[in-house]
Amino acid sequence: MSDSQAPGAAGPPPGGRADLIIEGAYVVTLDPRRPVIDNGSVAVVGTKIAAAGPAGEIRASFPEAAERIDASGCLVMPGLIDTHTHLFQVLGRGLGDGLELMAWLADFMLPMAVHMTTDDVVAAVRLSSLMSVLAGTTAVVDNHYAPTDTATTLAVAESVESVGLRGAIARGVFGSRVEGSDRMGVPDELHAFTAAEELQILDECLEQRPPGSRVEVWPMPENVVYVDLDLIAACADLAERRDLRWQAHCSEAQEEVVIFGEVHGERPVEWLSRAGLLGPRATLAHAIWLDDDEVAAMGASRACALHQPVCNQVISSGVMRLRELVDAGATVGLGTDGLAVSGQSMFEAMKSAYGLHRLARMDPTWPPVEQLLELVCRHGARVLGRPAGVVSEGALADLVVIDLQSPRFQPAHRPVAMLALVGHGSDVRDVVVDGAVVVRRGRPTLVDQDEVMAKAREAAERVAGAAGLEPLRAAWIDR
């Protein structure tokens, strides 16, 4: 987020009539000037937050409101932001446990991806988007790579938006095969388009969904190891020209850094830095195996690293240098990543990061819970490039209401700590995105939940049959 987009800079004038007021809550603002407000209210006008403050003050400033949500006994916070996921993978949920990465790809994920039709993808993305929003996520960045033609990419964006989410489809770009494709065993089906075709499809998508759309389309050279470097540079250039972000998987496995070095003679982030491609628009998924110079380059350029603690542990790929990246000045968003191996909850991601980094550093003092909330909200908004992630005047009205009356939250000595330590998606009661209520009392307002689940189950059956996943569906696997 540039300074000119900062919340508070250009909000609607205070006072008068609000479209929505959420009142009487414990408000966690993530605004350093006033981090929490006990018995607070939030007034929304249009798509933005008009004011947040003590309930009495807000009632005096906004005597009228088209809608009021009584949030007494609840906590209100900015919507959680999932900066890297693969929504289509939900159709394989629960399958592939215990496989090595290469077998996981060859025997499970890639056959599944290759056998999904546009209708299957839509059914999958609607279900996972619904799970996201029900768990308090208000924005997702979805890396989609199955299939990536114009019509399917746009259908994915439409599906994400259909439940009320904002975000971006980071469309997987592969281009022609390169040496890294062979070294990493990337199947031909994924290298389906030439570089020129990839850029043409992105242009077509951007014509339908221009930058600034509720769900944008971003270029995503799928992995710096198996995409031609000129095509990666072209994607970064497209993002610069069109005022978008771009994403890439980068330095997730140690082996990727080795292969990149053998092919190109330097490290991945070292090359990105030397090529002038690092900066706030560069959002690198995983960014685990970085040396000191690469961490410094990420920080100096204000580039974004995307941390998926659940997936990193399941795949055993490594531990991100989270503290060093944050201290260097990089933006670090959290994500859920592959839905075949993780839930779709940013509470799970926060708790997982909390434990992982304490153990890895043998340091029970870091990260504090406040740091995790900063990452998932404020840093997440920076990854998106939107003025969100904070409850303050002028910010986008993306808000979550969490019920503190469940046994899990009692006694609520420190609600901020409870969010990271015991918070769960099922505690989310209401969700507001762009000023509109998209979840009310735990139910979606824009889609029929039973229908979404039924369509996804049908698609999962069809895809499992077509892709030969039956052996993976055994009820109990001895090994």
Nearer to Zn ion, 41 or 85 (CB): 85
Q: How far is the CB of 418 from Zn ion (least distance, A)?
A: 29
Short-list 370, 369, 424, 372, CA closest to 400: 424
Nearer to Zn ion, 53 or 219 (CB): 219
Nearer to Zn ion, 178 or 340 (CB): 340
Short-list 145, 154, 143, CA closest to 114: 145
Q: Is the dihedral of CA 126, 129, 134, 139 positive or negative?
A: negative
Nearer to Zn ion, 112 or 402 (CB): 112
Q: How far is the CB of 141 from Zn ion (least distance, A)?
A: 10
Query: What's the per-residue H, E or C state across 441-473?
Result: CCEECCCCHHHHHHHHHHHHHHHHHHCCCHHHH
Q: How far is the CB of 297 from Zn ion (least distance, A)?
A: 22
Transcribe 302-356 into DSSP letters.
Answer: T-EEEE-HHHHHHHT-----HHHHHHHT-EEEE--EETTTS-S-HHHHHHHHHHH
Q: How far is the CB of 341 from Zn ion (least distance, A)?
A: 10
Nearer to Zn ion, 23 or 337 (CB): 337
Nearer to Zn ion, 256 or 337 (CB): 337
Q: How far is the CB of 26 from Zn ion (least distance, A)?
A: 34
AA letter at 408: R
List the beta bridge partners of residue 234.
Answer: none
Q: How far apart are CA 159 and CA 89, in angstroms?
A: 14
Q: Is the dihedral of CA 299, 302, 303, 305 positive or negative?
A: positive
SS3 440: strand
Nearer to Zn ion, 253 or 437 (CB): 253
Where do contacts with Zn ion occur on this chain (CB under 5 A)? 337
Q: How far is the CB of 143 from Zn ion (least distance, A)?
A: 6
Nearer to Zn ion, 166 or 307 (CB): 307
Q: How far is the CB of 96 from Zn ion (least distance, A)?
A: 15
Nearer to Zn ion, 31 or 337 (CB): 337
Residue 67: CB atoms within 10 A of its CB come to 11
Q: How far apart are CA 263 and CA 476, in angstroms?
A: 42
Q: How far apart are CA 13 and CA 428, in angstroms?
A: 30
Residue nearest to Zn ion (CB): 337
Q: Is the dihedral of CA 89, 159, 374, 324 positive or negative?
A: positive
Locus of tokens 């989410």: 165
SS3 395: coil
Q: How far is the CB of 338 from Zn ion (least distance, A)?
A: 6
Nearer to Zn ion, 159 or 317 (CB): 317
Q: How far is the CB of 285 from Zn ion (least distance, A)?
A: 5
Nearer to Zn ion, 337 or 434 (CB): 337
Q: How far is the CB of 155 from Zn ion (least distance, A)?
A: 20
Short-list 164, 322, 303, 300, CA closest to 247: 303
Q: How far apart are CA 281 and CA 385, in angstroms?
A: 8
Q: How far apart are CA 325 and CA 418, in angstroms?
A: 25
**Cis ω before 411 (30° cut-off from 0):** yes
Instruction: Determine the length of the chain.
Output: 479
Nearer to Zn ion, 337 or 398 (CB): 337
DSSP 8-class letter at 15: S
* CB proximity list for 154: less than 8 A, separation 6 or greater: 205, 208, 209, 217
Q: How far is the CB of 86 from Zn ion (least distance, A)?
A: 6
* CB proximity list for 357: less than 8 A, separation 6 or greater: 319, 322, 323, 366, 367
Q: How far is the CB of 335 from Zn ion (least distance, A)?
A: 8
